[in-house]
Each structure stands twice: as C-alpha cells, then as structure tokens.
Amino acid sequence: MATPQLQIRSAVAADLPTIWQMILDLAAYEKLSHAVEGSAELLGEHLFGEHPYAGVILAELEGKAVGLGLFFYNYSTFLTRPGIYLEDLYVQPDYRRRGIGKALLQYLAKLAVEKGCGRLEWTVLDWNASAIAFYESLGATVLPDWRICRVHSSNLTKLANL
C-alpha cells in the first residue's frame, strides 16, 4: 500500500474556511477558545487583502489540509536582517507524529534562507512538554531568559492614548 504524499503549499483565499477552522481547533487544543475575538472575514482581509500582514502554509495529504503554519516577517536589529515569526503551527490530532509539523517547519526554514532571513522563531506554551522536546530535536533553542510582553484590547487603546 502506497504512503500518501505530503504536500506543503502557500494558502490561497479559497482556503480561508479551512484555515479558520484549524485556528479554532488550535485554540480549543490550547484551552484558549475564549481568547478568539476575530472572524474569518477579518483573517481573510489580513491574509489575502490588498496589504497582507501574514502568510499561511498548508500541509495536505491526498488533497486534504491537515496542518498549517501562520507566519509573518519581523526584523532583528542585532542581526540587521529580517526574520520569520511563526505565530501558529497546527497539525490535526489524527495526523500528528507523521512528520507533518517537521515538514511545515522545514518549509519555513527554506523560505527564511531564500529570503535572506537571520532566524526563524516562535513561542511554545511551557506546559507543552512534547512540543518543546520536538522543537529541541530539530535544533531549536527554548530561550529561558526571555518573556513575552503583550499589550492588547483596551490596554492597547489606553497605551496609545497616554
């Protein structure tokens, strides 16, 4: 019996319902469904509109999307080079441990090299030991001294109006 062929590709606007559903699935997995404030329409505008802010790659098996990576470009002043920040990496539960997450990360690493980026980075929840071990097995360093600072919702407006 033949093994299904994995394909990684850039998402297109027609993929929006699939992308949105995977984002909702990821939020549920991370026990963060309550934090989802956006909509598929707004996401579509930001991914595929006149001025895209982010990109998505999809992992497909036999034409079915089973994973995604949502990313955007950032910049390192110390490296004086752009980088890629992976906002979300998600593989549907029934398709995990098949190399799909690794293939998504490899695709982004190749993209980073092609674009002259100095690094590829992302965050991982501290309770997700299996993800941490997986990332470290690929050569990633989990930075112990850095903490994410975030201002959002009403606090973002308050800061803007100081």
**Does some domain include residue 74?**
yes
Eight-state DSSP code of residue 54: -
Residue 1 lies in a domain: no
Q: 13 in a domain, yes or no?
A: yes
| Residues annotated as part of the active site | 135
Q: Residue 152 maps to which CATH number?
A: 3.40.630.30
Residue 41 is assigned to a structural domain of this protein: yes
Only one residue has tokens 């579509």, namely 44
Spatial neighbors of 130 by CB under 8 A, at least 6 apart, are none
In-domain check, residue 51 = yes
pLDDT, one tens digit for every residue, the chain (162 residues)? 555 799 999 999 999 999 999 999 999 999 999 999 999 999 999 999 999 999 999 999 999 999 999 999 999 999 999 999 999 999 999 999 999 999 999 999 999 999 999 999 999 989 899 999 999 999 999 998 988 898 998 999 999 999
Residue 64 β-bridge partners:
61
**What pLDDT, on the 0 to 100 scale, is given for residue 42?**
97
Distance of alpha carbon 16 from alpha carbon 45, whole angstroms: 10
DSSP conformational letter for 20:
H
Which pLDDT score, from 0 to 100, does residue 118 have? 96
The answer to whether residue 25 sits within a structural domain is: yes
Domain with 31 in it: 6-160
* Residue 137 located in a structural domain: yes
Number of independent structural domains in the chain: 1
